[in-house]
């Protein structure tokens, strides 16, 4: 009897979907053609995503007609076949745990890219020009993101890195630097954050918190709160950079009227 099959729908190509779900499971699942499992009831563009607990997972852009579906973190799981309810429940649970972290980190990566796109190709003059009443420049905002967001929240709070903690300072008041250097420093802090995140259990409490009086906020309970804070700050400041970029040369990231 053929193994039960779960179809994973993802907005994109089959291989993009497979890449996403490979991240969910830590890259442990391999790519196979669904025909290798003796199945002929999958969509033509589907590719099997390995076997987990006796369930074959396919990935593609559209769910087959008539399949039972389940939405999870904005993605869709469709059951094409039969399996013991306990097996499927365990399978979905494993997927949901992994997807929560993966989806959160994917959103953060997207917003970091948004920031870098907003400052890409600009002259040093444009990067150092203040176009808002509050008087900040793109270079200063990148310093804030590098030191007050990435270094503070990820390297220091989440990771508890003594070097990062000792180097903490007000990013807005950083030593003057060129726009090129500000981009490089931000990218370096992202790389450090990526290393910390790869070694962190987001279900665990942060490894460090500022002393009372240094930071007037209650300690966060786990790593998810920390990453969500970084995601929110990065998203907000990406929007700020979009406004200044449009005022600079008319470039628009996404404008909905």
CATH number of domain containing 211:
1.20.120.450
Q: Are residues 91 and 151 located together in one domain of the fold? A: no
State which residues form the domain around 39.
5-97
Contact 57, 31 (CB under 8 A): no
Residue 93: the pLDDT is: 56
Final residue before a domain boundary, out of 62, 97, 132: 97
Residue 217: the pLDDT is: 81
- Give φ, ψ of 177 to 5 degrees: -145, 165
Residue 151: the pLDDT is: 98
Query: What burial letters (b/e) apply to 151-162, b meaning 16+ CB within 10 Å?
Result: bbbbbbbbbebe
| 102 — pLDDT class (breaks 50, 70, 90) | confident
Least confident of 10-14, 108-112, 115-119, 158-162: 10-14
Location of structure tokens 């589907």: 46
Question: Does residue 110 lie within any of the structural domains?
Answer: no
Residue 17: the pLDDT is: 52
* Mean pLDDT computed over every residue of the chain: 74
Per-residue model confidence as pLDDT tens digits over 82-96: 444 555 455 555 555
Q: Are residues 80 and 144 located together in one domain of the fold? A: no
Pair type for strands 47-52 and 75-79: unpaired
Beta-carbon contacts of 77 under 8 Å, excluding residues fewer than 6 positions away, are: 6, 7, 8, 9, 69, 70, 71, 92, 95
Final residue before a domain boundary, out of 35, 64, 97: 97
Contact 55, 7 (CB under 8 A): no
| 16 — pLDDT class (breaks 50, 70, 90) | low
Residue 174: the pLDDT is: 92
Q: Give the pTM.
A: 0.65
Q: Check pLDDT > 60 for residue 257.
A: no
Q: Are residues 123 and 245 located together in one domain of the fold? A: yes
| 80 — pLDDT class (breaks 50, 70, 90) | very low
């Amino acid at each position: 009897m053929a193994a039960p099959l779960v179809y994973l729908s993802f907005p994109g190509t089959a291989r993009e979907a497979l890449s996403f779900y490979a991240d969910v499971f830590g890259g442990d699942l391999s790519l196979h053609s669904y025909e290798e499992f003796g199945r002929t009831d999958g969509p033509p563009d589907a590719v099997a995503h390995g076997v987990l607990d006796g369930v074959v997972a396919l990935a593609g852009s559209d769910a087959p007609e008539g399949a039972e579906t389940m939405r999870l973190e904005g993605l869709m799981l469709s059951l094409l076949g039969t399996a013991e309810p306990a097996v499927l429940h365990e399978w979905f649970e494993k997927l949901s745990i992994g997807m929560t972290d993966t989806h959160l980190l994917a959103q953060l990566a997207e917003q970091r890219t948004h920031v870098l796109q907003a400052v890409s190709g600009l002259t040093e003059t444009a990067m150092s020009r203040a176009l808002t009443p509050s008087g900040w420049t793109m270079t200063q905002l990148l310093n804030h993101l590098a030191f007050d967001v990435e270094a503070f929240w990820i390297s220091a709070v989440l990771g508890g890195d003594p070097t990062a903690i000792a180097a903490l300072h007000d990013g807005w008041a950083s030593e003057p630097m060129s726009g090129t250097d500000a981009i490089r420093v931000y990218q370096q802090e992202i790389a450090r954050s990526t290393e910390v995140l790869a070694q962190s259990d987001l279900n665990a409490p942060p490894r460090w918190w500022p002393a009372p009086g240094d930071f007037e906020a209650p300690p966060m309970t786990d790593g998810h709160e920390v990453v969500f804070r970084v995601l929110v700050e990065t998203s907000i400041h990406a929007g700020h950079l979009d406004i200044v970029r449009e005022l600079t040369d008319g470039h628009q990231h996404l404008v909905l009227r």
